Amino acid sequence: MSSVTAVVLAAGKGTRMKSALPKVMHTLAGRPMIHWVVRAVLEAGAERVVVVVGHGRDKVEAYLKGAFGERVETVVQEEQRGTGHAAQVALPAVSRGLDEDSVVLVTAGDTPCLRGADLRALVDAMGDPTRAMAMLVATLPDATGYGRILRRDADVVGVKEHVDCSAEERAIREFNPAVYAFRLGYLQKNLPGLQPNNAQGELYLTDLVARANGAVADRPVDPATVEGINDRAQLSALEARILHGLARRHQLAGVTVRDPRAVEIHDGVEIGEDTVIERGVVLRGATRVGRGCTIDVGCVLTNVVVEDGVTMKPYSVATDSRVGPKAQIGPFTHLRPASDIGESAHVGNFVEVKKTSLGRGSKANHLAYLGDGVVGEDVNVGAGTIFCNYDGFKKHVTTLDDGSFIGSDTQLIAPVRVGKGAYVATGTTITRDVPDGALAIGRTAQQNKEGYADRLRARLKSQKK
Ligand code: UD1
Ligand code: CA
């Protein structure tokens, strides 16, 4: 079989997005629009993808390079003179090393719900070597805005843009989703001759349909899969559809997703069987949740590895961190980057952890700040403990060895170490290392002055007048 190359047209500005960001870089379920389209053409078997870029091209190029590497290359369309012109600009890169029988898929960069299987059907339709082109078609009750499909007898003989249509033609419900397969030789022969004879004065790729003299294979598809995005209302509508599909995939794979409309599980997130995802949960980036976990209401996890059997109670937020097996987090815990919570450890409400590891079975259950720390196993960190890690210039490490006990309202002025099994009395400010097994106590002795409270009150009251 001859090889398949794909062209994705993505040079347009996307004026209706009203954005400094190029349209195709707006994200759906955590991936830019262009990602979804490139993935679909790769799924359809394209060996090489040429993306036509223009507006905001630096951002688009950088993204594509990072996400797809060598398989995707870009060509620049300096001035956007229409879809036919964009295809002309791509032609030299597409032609490189290919013979004229090769199949070229062409699609727009703003139709993220496109399915690889539908593109594949176009490639298959080109199996007949005499075929010049194949295209998807779809039908809507009202196809306003789209190019309409013109047929003679059963054959597709042309596409007419909405603005160029007569009132009669505008009643046509069958439209052009702008997804095509072309024989390379057909593009090479016909693209150079395109003329801007239309209402917009542009070079229309769609003019190639009329030139094929009825030798066009058309494949009907679900209009929902070829819907384009022009504004942010359409962006959110299609994102909701993609998110719903992703949530459903997890459900069918054994995850309880309480309400698929009320969660945001981004593309690429992995979740194990028998895990429960409650309402309002957002899972982003390279997040991986194990089996048998509960991620309770309102938790937001970005690039977090959660091992099996973890409970994350409501409204906990974690980023770039790891939570070990059977650990319990929250409610209202904040795990900032590079936190590593050990097996069966507990981190409770209003505890902020940053770049700190907590060993197996250790606990910090209430109101604490653990920054730049190394906490061993079975350590108890009392309420109100603060790792004073920052002197205004540098960050310093607090080390709590295995089995140590940190009483409530302790400040540890880093760099400092509390030894194995050591005990820090409540209310102590630790400025020096505590040896293994020692008790550190650093608080002023209490005095009780009998009757002073009443005397004090009387004096203050008399001063108030
Ligand atoms: C195009 C089709 C129309 C079809 C519709 C489906 C033409 C003439 N019309 O219209 O029949 O129903 O798509 O959505 O092809 N682009 C470039 N360079 C350009 C112009 C466009 O790269 O000079 C890119 C855009 O970034 C976009 C895609 O091509 O991703 C489609 O362009 P757009 O202007 O949106 O075409 P439509 O008017 O929607
Ligand atoms: Ca469009």
pLDDT tens by residue, 249-270: 999 999 999 999 999 999 999 9
Could you tell me if the CB of 83 is within 6 A of ligand 1? Answer: yes
Span of 1-5, 91-95, 391-395 with lowest mean pLDDT: 1-5
Q: Quick one: pLDDT at residue 309?
A: 98
- Which tokens go with 360? 């197996």
To which H or E segment does residue 380 belong? strand 380-381
Say yes or no: do domains 4-226 and 232-440 share a fold.
Answer: no
Q: What is the CATH number of domain 4-226?
A: 3.90.550.10
Q: Quick one: pLDDT at residue 13?
A: 85
How far is C-alpha 110 from the chain's CA centre? Answer: 17
Residue nearest to atom 29 of ligand 1 (CA): 9
CA atoms within 13 A on the CB side of 157: 7
Average pLDDT in the chain: 97
- Output DSSP code: residue 419: -
Give me the mean pLDDT over the 100-128 stretch.
97
DSSP bridge partners of 222: none
Q: Which atom of ligand 1 is nearest to the CA of 82?
A: 23
Could you tell me if the CB of 86 is within 6 A of ligand 1? Answer: yes
214, pLDDT greater than 80: no
8 A C-beta contact, residue 179 and residue 117: no
118, pLDDT greater than 80: yes
Residue 1 — very low, low, confident or very high, per pLDDT cuts 50/70/90?
low
Q: Separation of 396 CA from ligand 1 center, angstroms? A: 56
Q: Is 366 a catalytic residue?
A: yes
Instruction: Select from 61, 74, 83, 149 the residue to mutate for testing ligand 1; criterion: most ligand atoms less than 8 Å from CB.
Output: 83
Could you tell me if the CB of 371 is within 6 A of ligand 1? Answer: no
449, pLDDT greater than 90: yes
Residue 2 — very low, low, confident or very high, per pLDDT cuts 50/70/90?
low
- Which tokens go with 262? 């009320």
Residue nearest to atom 22 of ligand 1 (CA): 11
Q: Separation of 46 CA from ligand 2 center, angstroms? A: 22
Q: What is the CATH number of domain 232-440?
A: 2.160.10.10
Give me the mean pLDDT over the 309-313 stretch.
98
464, pLDDT greater than 90: no
Residue 3 — very low, low, confident or very high, per pLDDT cuts 50/70/90?
confident
Q: Quick one: which of 107, 94, 303, 308 has its CA closest to 185?
A: 94
pLDDT tens by residue, 330-374: 999 999 999 999 999 999 999 999 999 999 999 999 999 999 999
pLDDT tens by residue, 132-164: 999 999 999 999 999 999 999 999 999 999 999
Q: Could you tell me what percent of the chain has a pLDDT over 90?
A: 97
303, pLDDT greater than 90: yes
Q: Quick one: pLDDT at residue 79?
A: 95
Span between the terminal Cα atoms of the chain, in Å: 100
Q: Which atom of ligand 1 is nearest to the CA of 13?
A: 26
What residue ranges do the domains of the chain occupy?
4-226, 232-440
Could you tell me if the CB of 194 is within 6 A of ligand 1? Answer: no
293, pLDDT greater than 60: yes
Q: Separation of 71 CA from ligand 1 center, angstroms? A: 24
Could you tell me if the CB of 22 is within 6 A of ligand 1? Answer: no
